Structure 1
Amino acid sequence: MTVDGEGLRIHPEVIEALESDTPVVALESTIISHGLPRPDNLRVAREIEQTVRDAGAVPATIAVVDGKPCVGLYDEELRLIAESDDVVKLGVRDLGVAAAKKLHGATTVAATASLAAQADIDVFATGGLGGVHRHARDTWDESADLTALSRIPMAVVCAGVKSILDVPATLERLETLNVPVYGYRTTTFPGFYLADSGHALEWSFDFAEEVADAILAHWQLAWPAVSSGALVANPIPVEEQLDPALHDRILNDALTAAEKQGVAGKDVTPFLLEYFHRETGGESLRANVLLVKRNAELAARIAAAIIDAAPAR
């Protein structure tokens, strides 16, 4: 690891935490630049980092600044990612171009996991995972998040996959890719804005320590044949979820609008999230912020439990 150089720039606080066995939680930056509306996005980004700190861990928000991959952001960099119009959305395949062109970029789940792993961080909190898109049998549109998880030993805490996706197809792909999915205090896969997507989970745990034990065992027993991450599904509480009837109506309208306007590829998710925010009068934003904070808090506890249990491997 280096603070500066040809590779990553790792924030000194993150380096100190890693060297002292203090838990660290990686955080993505596309939620800041493309997932949340301004000016709420900067405030929420700071609140998510504070949630990690309050749970006893160090946050490492990941982004690319002037072409340099940064693991842990200074506040002025966080503001830049939130407020600049020049921030591009970066998957793993885009990182080299961003470095060469010295771009500012927000990292997707896949790119965040890749950079976090290079910094020896193994727990990551996000809102919703990317997955198989609707009509993927015709478009072949599938998020690189899935293949990244199949190759990177990263524990990802999320509220399921975004409800705009094909949930059963995504779960099938995760199984094929040898990525275990653990429900946290749930036996059904969450649906992002909704507590229950309607699809059962095979494994469920009630405590962060149990989740950590399962993740560590997976990494130990599956390697070297498999080097995959693990998905921890943490549902939004039922009483805090988006009204299901409103959700279904807005989702259908949003999908129709995207098709009519020719929105495709990586532009689909931000388009649909913005549609939800606008048409629900901010209710989707409320749910989104709540679930991300809950995931950040759980990720911090899992990171601490992994550190406590790791010597027993």
Structure 2
Amino acid sequence: MLNRYLDISTEVKEALEQGKPVVALESTIISHGMPYPQNVETAMNVEKLIRENGAVPATIAIIKGRLKAGLTAEEIDYLGRAGHAVPKASRRDLPVLVAKGSDGACTVTTTMMIAHMAGIQVFATGGIGGVHRGAETTMDISADLEELGQTPVMVVCAGAKSILDLGLTLEYLETKGVPVIGYGTNELPAFYTRKSGFGVDYELDTPEELAAAFHAERELGMKNGMLVTNPIPEKYSMDHKVIDKAIEQALAEAKAQGIHGKETTPFLLAKVKDLTGGDSLESNIQLVYNNAVLGAKTACALAALKG
């Protein structure tokens, strides 16, 4: 049943009604993930790449209290310019933002929720949240992991951000019954780098194999999502020693400044960008493009299976 607070764009609605492939995209990347104007340029390029690979893009956000599946270019530009003035909207924020008629940039969690509400099964993003370092005392665990355990959407990403505790993140996903698939790799990618030292559950090598696994999960009546981890292209992969050093320094500064909760990830990513001379921003943009292409190809294979 369609939620009465949900607006699906005409293009996305027609695609869904006709069984055409659609790929959901989050909006926190636009507002909080990158500076203006690179954020808007990246968002528009991602939509273009998805179209070039045979699918329809559906960027998801909350505008004036409405849950939007499919944004206009003007709405994307608005979010990009507003930046951090737009609240990051996770599951707990939705009722208040809707009730107040406010804007919200959708995280992985809320993008999954709204995509599922709209009937979109594939979602491409940068990286997911996870278990933060030191979570055994802080209990700082991203809502993304809970959502993956309860919402049947395939999330294509470049792994979990290496600012996190990757081992505990994988343990948490296992507890929630979420399959972690490596696309062409048996090792969990760590966002800026292709390797982490941690294994994935399964390695699959084609969009058709990914689509078949997700289709089987749906046919089995399972309620959880599926995580596809797609390594950043070799050309843009960063030296793990450089990234690790920048992350350690960023974590120390966050602790010293008392940064916590939903502000942690944007602070750490911005600090890592500064410490790497902007190299991490270029890597971030390229891995998002890479995931968009794989998301589109997988959505096309899924549509063919169901057709």
TM-score by length of 2: 0.97
Cα displacement string for residues 69-118 of structure 1 (whole angstroms, at most 9, x for unaligned residues): 11000111111111115311000111111111111110000000000000
Cα displacement string for residues 107-139 of structure 1 (whole angstroms, at most 9, x for unaligned residues): 000000000000000000010011111111101
In the alignment, which residue of structure 2 is the partner of 1:220?
Answer: 219
In 1, Cα distance between equivalents of 2:80 and 2:201 = 38
In the alignment, which residue of structure 1 is the partner of 2:126?
Answer: 127
Given that 1:219 and 1:228 are in contact with CA atoms closer than 8 Å, whether structure 2 keeps it comes out as: no
Q: Write the letter of the residue equivalent to 2:20.
A: T
Cα displacement string for residues 261-306 of structure 1 (whole angstroms, at most 9, x for unaligned residues): 0000110000000011112111001100100111011001111111
Q: Write the letter of the residue equivalent to 1:192.
A: F
In 2, Cα distance between equivalents of 1:74 and 1:203 = 37
In 2, Cα distance between equivalents of 1:267 and 1:42 = 21
Shift of 1:16: 0.8
In the TM superposition, 1:179-194 aligns within 5 A as 179-194=178-193
1:251 aligns with 2:254: no
TM-score by length of 1: 0.95
In the alignment, which residue of structure 1 is the partner of 2:300?
Answer: 304
Runs of 4 or more consecutive aligned structure 1 residues displaced over 3 Å after TM superposition: none
In the alignment, which residue of structure 1 is the partner of 2:77?
Answer: 79
Given that 2:33 and 2:269 are in contact with CA atoms closer than 8 Å, whether structure 1 keeps it comes out as: yes
Cα displacement string for residues 151-175 of structure 1 (whole angstroms, at most 9, x for unaligned residues): 1110000000010001000001111
1:236 aligns with 2:227: no
* Count of aligned pairs between the two proteins: 306
Given that 2:179 and 2:201 are in contact with CA atoms closer than 8 Å, whether structure 1 keeps it comes out as: no
Q: Write the letter of the residue equivalent to 1:129.
A: I
Structure 1 counterpart SS, 2:163? coil
Larger displacement relative to structure 2 (117-126 or 210-219)? 210-219
Shift of 1:209: 0.2
1:282 aligns with 2:278: yes
Q: Out of 13, 16, 22, which is 1:15 matched to?
A: 13
In 1, Cα distance between equivalents of 2:246 and 2:118 = 40
Larger displacement relative to structure 2 (171-180 or 243-252)? 243-252
Shift of 1:309: 1.2
Structure 2 counterpart SS, 1:248? helix
Given that 1:132 and 1:165 are in contact with CA atoms closer than 8 Å, whether structure 2 keeps it comes out as: yes
In 1, Cα distance between equivalents of 2:17 and 2:267 = 40
In the alignment, which residue of structure 2 is the partner of 1:40?
Answer: 38
Shift of 1:243: 1.8
In 2, Cα distance between equivalents of 1:298 and 1:241 = 17
Structure 2 counterpart SS, 1:173? helix
Structure 2 counterpart SS, 1:200? coil
In 2, Cα distance between equivalents of 1:233 and 1:135 = 24
In the TM superposition, 1:129-168 aligns within 5 A as 129-168=128-167
Q: Write the letter of the residue equivalent to 2:223.
A: S
In 2, Cα distance between equivalents of 1:21 and 1:227 = 21
Larger displacement relative to structure 2 (198-207 or 175-184)? 198-207
In 2, Cα distance between equivalents of 1:170 and 1:257 = 23
- Aligned-pair RMSD on alpha carbons? 1.2
Shift of 1:217: 1.2
Q: Write the letter of the residue equivalent to 1:284.
A: S
